[in-house]
């Protein structure tokens, strides 16, 4: 028996510049062996046309080790499906590490201090689109500015401590509790790449359907007990959906983010189409530009005067 070809793109993406003999893996019933031709799954980042093997032996050995763990899980899953059994799930750690490698590698992301994006936002409840500019930093501060002819200018941000919003309909407000955590995660720079620094527990909890495709669900709990659900496409290994708990006026709910149209940007992969759904509403972000390590002028990420005022008064 050979490996299910549907897994090939994910496995290819995580075998970058490594070779190994993985023949003779035996299926759970002991009848069939599973053979992978490693020459067929050598990686080249075809989107960017660049290789990341310059990271060296340490990444090669660590990457190959995690890759072998995942490939064994995929092989056993294929064998279990053939035998009519419930296939075992891969480890969450292997899924996350494989995604990091496929998206560019930890060494690439370690060099990124910030990211600036511009996008067009369309809301299901409004006909006119809005223009969005967002700056995220690895240190934590961020700022998002939305300009719309329909509702004016809306700003979101944080100086790394205070999470805030200025909306012409509700005025300036400081986010607290669950909403503060959600905004910090929503506007965190490449969070899945730094999962070991942020989450105290990760677990692959099932195989579900996202956009009519199978995806592994990974539940992650942060060190301050905020739970996030990540969904990784079973074939490509790419992150295709995120779920964030949110607090609303009618109780707790979930914000769902669908990620599509991954493109290469300076050695990384970025989803140029993001669909956010919450409380029956849908917002689509179509990205126009993605830049890393841009110059940030003094005061750009500081608290606005309106937020400083209510922070001092406690309102």
Q: Which residues pair with 285 in a beta bridge?
A: 121, 274
CA distances for 97 relative to 103, 127, 159, 232, 252, angstroms: 10, 40, 30, 12, 31
Q: Is 261 left (phi over 0), alpha (psi -120 to 50) or beta?
A: left
User: Which domains, from first to last, does the chain contain?
Assistant: 5-88 (no CATH), 113-313 (2.50.20.10)
- End-to-end alpha carbon distance in the chain: 66
- Report the distance separating Cα 195 and Cα 99, nearest Å: 11
**Tens of pLDDT, residue by residue, the chain (315 residues):** 444 433 434 544 444 433 443 333 333 333 333 344 433 333 333 333 333 333 334 444 555 555 555 555 555 555 555 556 778 999 999 999 999 999 999 999 999 999 999 999 999 888 789 999 999 999 999 999 999 988 899 999 999 999 999 999 899 999 999 999 999 999 999 888 999 999 999 999 999 999 999 999 999 999 999 999 999 999 999 999 999 999 887 778 899 999 999 999 999 999 999 999 998 899 999 999 999 999 999 889 999 999 999 986 555
Q: What is the number of other CB atoms lying within 10 angstroms of the CB of residue 10?
A: 26
- Report the distance separating Cα 183 and Cα 161, nearest Å: 12
Question: Given CA atoms 275, 94, 46, 197 in this order, what sign does their dihedral have?
Answer: positive
Q: Is the pTM of this model over 0.85?
A: no
């Amino acid at each position: 028996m050979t490996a299910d070809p549907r897994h090939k793109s994910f496995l290819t993406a995580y075998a970058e510049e490594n070779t190994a003999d993985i023949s003779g893996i035996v299926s759970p019933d002991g009848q069939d062996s599973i053979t992978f031709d490693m020459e067929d799954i050598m990686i080249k980042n075809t989107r960017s046309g660049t290789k990341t093997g310059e990271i060296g032996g340490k990444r090669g050995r660590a990457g190959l080790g995690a890759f072998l763990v995942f490939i064994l899980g995929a092989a056993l899953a294929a064998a279990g499906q053939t035998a009519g059994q419930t296939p075992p799930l891969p480890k969450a750690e292997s899924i996350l590490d494989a995604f990091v490698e496929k998206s560019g590698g930890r060494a690439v992301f370690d060099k990124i201090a910030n990211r600036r994006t511009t996008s067009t936002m369309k809301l299901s409840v409004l006909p006119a689109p809005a223009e969005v500019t967002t700056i995220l930093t690895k240190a934590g501060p961020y700022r998002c500015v939305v300009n719309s002819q329909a509702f004016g200018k809306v700003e979101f941000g944080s100086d790394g401590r205070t999470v805030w919003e200025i909306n012409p309909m509700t005025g300036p407000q400081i986010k607290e509790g669950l909403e503060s955590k959600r905004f910090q995660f929503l506007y965190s720079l490449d969070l899945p790449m730094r999962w070991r620094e942020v989450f105290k527990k990760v677990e692959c909890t099932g195989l579900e359907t996202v956009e009519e495709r199978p995806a592994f669900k990974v539940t992650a709990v942060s060190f301050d007990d905020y739970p996030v659900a990540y969904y990784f496409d079973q074939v490509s290994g790419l992150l295709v959906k995120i779920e964030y708990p949110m607090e609303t006026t009618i109780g707790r709910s979930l914000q769902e983010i669908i990620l599509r149209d991954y493109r290469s940007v300076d050695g990384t992969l970025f989803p140029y189409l993001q669909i956010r759904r919450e409380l029956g509403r849908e917002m689509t972000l179509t990205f126009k530009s993605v830049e890393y390590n841009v110059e940030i002028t003094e005061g750009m990420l500081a608290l606005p005067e309106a937020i400083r005022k209510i922070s001092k008064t406690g309102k």
